[in-house]
Amino acid sequence: MSCFSCCLSEDKVNRRSLRKSIQEGRDARTIASSFASSFANLSFKSDGSRRRYIVGEISKYGKGSVTTEFFPFKELSAATQNFRPDCMVGEGGFGRVYKGHLESKNMDVAIKQLDRNGFQGNREFLVEVLMLSLLHHPNLVNLVGYCTDAEHRILVYEYMANGSLEDHLLDIGEKKPLDWKTRMQIAKGAAKGLEYLHDTADPPVIYRDFKASNILLDENFNPKLSDFGLAKLGPTGDKTHVTTRVMGTYGYCAPEYALTGQLTAKSDVYSFGVVLLELITGRRVIDKSRPSEEQNLVTWAQPYFRDKRKFHLMVDPLLENQYPKKGLHQALAVAAMCLQDEDETRPYINDVVSALEFLCDSDSKEGVMSAASSMAEGRSMAEGRQ
């Protein structure tokens, strides 16, 4: 038995044994083809049948175990005081997010009102409702419900008190900087969310939009992945990838995906490496305000990855040198491996989780060294599986 295997926790072994647990009689090809037709079908439904259609789709794949609720527009309007501007907590390419309070449940929620225009809004809406109705994990945001009254497309999530990782790392303003331990805990939790999508979900799910603004933080800074509108079902059977139109955010997309449209779970691993590098450096992946040689974070970091004596120059100055030297070396090693140009040389996300668990759970020299050894072993294992 390898030393990497010895280091795996019992919880890790149990999670791996659950990879098929959510299949519940569903066939991957059936789901994939149904998703494709559902996007078009939603656009042509009448107002009265749209709700029944979505409920039927969820019920069909959830086998009656889905708890996602339908909310009438009137209730969501009341929850946000008629979508008052001062209730808005975020805005993205697909719509605006408001903080609201549901009297019927006595709970605060985040209410995302999607842009009414275009096919892409419908696509995002249906993907997100179906994905988050079927997938449940502590590091995925919980979908409370949705609304399809008239022309409205609204999603209702659990409210995350600390907003997004971007708010506390890249748009910090007057907020207190995240300390090293919190940053690594966030990285570990986000990696676990990806691990669930890649290894437990059956068929696997490729997130495709992993970035700081899509990692939400609760009151204790526990991370949860949000915004599943671009998620894709991963390859099944003997297929090595899925081919799709290139979507996502510039700077976070893996190079092979950006060039060819061929998407794999390793594409998410690359995006994770970008966010981990942002956590370490406090820099945006693309920052036009910096000198030209520093505008692309990954390009700027490459020479530093090759010289341990310069690792300290990569650290976010807001940490004020409060970080473990060996922990920094390990975190940068994980980031560098995730950012390999060739997808075959990147680690699997479960290997990344293993390394980050050791990094976070042990402050001792032995624990940090074990993490480094584990990651090296994990890379060997990953290469052996190609």
> Which of 158, 191, 215 lies at the terminal end of a domain, its last residue?
158
Are residues 341 and 216 both part of a single domain? yes
**In this structure, what are the phi and psi dihedrals at residue 363, rounded to the nearest 5 degrees?**
-95, -5
Q: How confident is the model at residue 362 (pLDDT cuts 50, 70, 90)?
A: low
Average pLDDT, integer, range 320-345? 95
- Please name every residue paired with 143 in a beta bridge, in sequence order, or none if there are none: 157
Enter the pTM of the model. 0.81
Are residues 176 and 83 both part of a single domain? no
Are residues 102 and 222 both part of a single domain? no
Active-site residue set = 209
Q: How confident is the model at residue 117 (pLDDT cuts 50, 70, 90)?
A: low
For residue 121, tell me if it sits in a domain.
Answer: yes
Does the structure show a pLDDT above 70 at 349? yes
Does the structure show a pLDDT above 80 at 327? yes
Annotated ligand binding at 308? The verdict is no
Are residues 193 and 279 both part of a single domain? yes
Are residues 217 and 151 both part of a single domain? no
Are residues 116 and 179 both part of a single domain? no
Q: What is the pLDDT of residues 251-296, one digit of tens each?
A: 899 999 888 888 999 999 999 999 999 999 999 999 999 999 999 9
Are residues 146 and 255 both part of a single domain? no
pLDDT higher at 116 or 252: 252
Calpha distance 267→255 (Å, rounded): 8
Are residues 312 and 182 both part of a single domain? yes
Are residues 95 and 133 both part of a single domain? yes
For residue 311, tell me if it sits in a domain.
Answer: yes
Q: What is the pLDDT of residues 166-183, one digit of tens each?
A: 999 988 888 899 999 999
Query: In this predicted structure, which of 70-74, 202-206, 247-251, 359-363 has the lowest mean pLDDT?
Result: 359-363
> Which of 158, 190, 224 lies at the terminal end of a domain, its last residue?
158
Are residues 173 and 138 both part of a single domain? no
Number of domains the chain is built from: 2
Are residues 137 and 189 both part of a single domain? no
- The whole-number pLDDT of residue 64 equals 52
Q: Domain containing 127: what range?
A: 28-64+71-158
Q: What is the pLDDT of residues 91-113, one digit of tens each?
A: 866 778 999 999 999 999 999 98
Are residues 89 and 110 both part of a single domain? yes
> Which of 119, 137, 158 lies at the terminal end of a domain, its last residue?
158
For residue 22, tell me if it sits in a domain.
Answer: no
Task: Give the CATH number, domain containing residue 191.
Answer: 1.10.510.10
Task: Give the CATH number, domain containing residue 113.
Answer: 3.30.200.20
Average pLDDT, integer, range 364-383? 46
For residue 376, tell me if it sits in a domain.
Answer: yes
For residue 341, tell me if it sits in a domain.
Answer: yes
For residue 23, tell me if it sits in a domain.
Answer: no
For residue 46, tell me if it sits in a domain.
Answer: yes
